[in-house]
Amino acid sequence: MSAVEDTIAQANRDRSGALIGYLPVGFPTIADSIEAAVAMAENGVDVIELGLPYSDPVMDGPAIQVATQAALANGFRLQDGFDAVAEITSRVSTPVLLMSYWNPILQFGVDRFADQLLAAGGAGIITPDLVSDEASEWIAASKRTGLDRVFLAAPSSSDERLVRAVEASTGFVYAVSTMGITGARADVDSAAKTLVARLRTAGSTSACVGLGISTADQVREVLSYADGAIVGSVFVSALSTGGVSAVAKTAASLSTGTLA
């Protein structure tokens, strides 16, 4: 069992489930993003998801797009991502996953990327635009290094594709709750519950729901049927408006939704 899967399983034994928090590396600065990630870990976030800024973030909502574009404008380099992971994992034991679109990994070199992430203490990669059918190179590299590979599942996915996503994923399967881009919204799409049920039928033992979760009540709702709740935009907005202290307060508030 991977560190991520073990952490999620432990959260389900101890509480209602796991809280996974997302922030982009390099926003508003590299140092701030590191401090914010540490603050999340120290205030109830079970798994950290660090997004690598990318010039064409097709799945990201407005808050995350603004943040990642600011990081790129400030000179973000891929090496900064590995350095951030190394700093965070030296300070907290919380598993750290990178979220990256596939093209930067391919351009950097799949094996080179895997080796540097492993050396930095990272737990694995979430690849939102890479389907398991086309991931043979990454699957081979992750098996060699022991890194987790998290694939996405959407409400529109066929039953056959869900089975392939479950079989190819380690750590957890990322269940996308809506058919759009990321961003906080008032109600978490009811399609998420149906999707997780379909993932269970496909054999998933670790399914986490993301896209649109912004309150402790929504975390609690999601954890009534899923293993983890993934929160992103609300953390980015907190960091943008209130700095690291606001991220800490947001994490502490959201984590109350994991309590039975």
Candidate list 35, 60, 80, 189, residue with the active-site label: 60
49 is catalytic: yes
Contact predicate 153/175, CB 8 Å: yes
Distance CA 137, CA 128 (A): 16
Query: What is the phi-psi region of residue 234: left when phi exceeds 0, alpha when psi lies from -120 to 50, beta otherwise?
Result: alpha
In Å, what is the CA distance from 231 to each residue of 22, 115, 125, 179, 257?
6, 28, 17, 16, 12
6 is catalytic: no
Candidate list 5, 35, 46, 49, residue with the active-site label: 49
**Residue numbers annotated as active site:** 49, 60
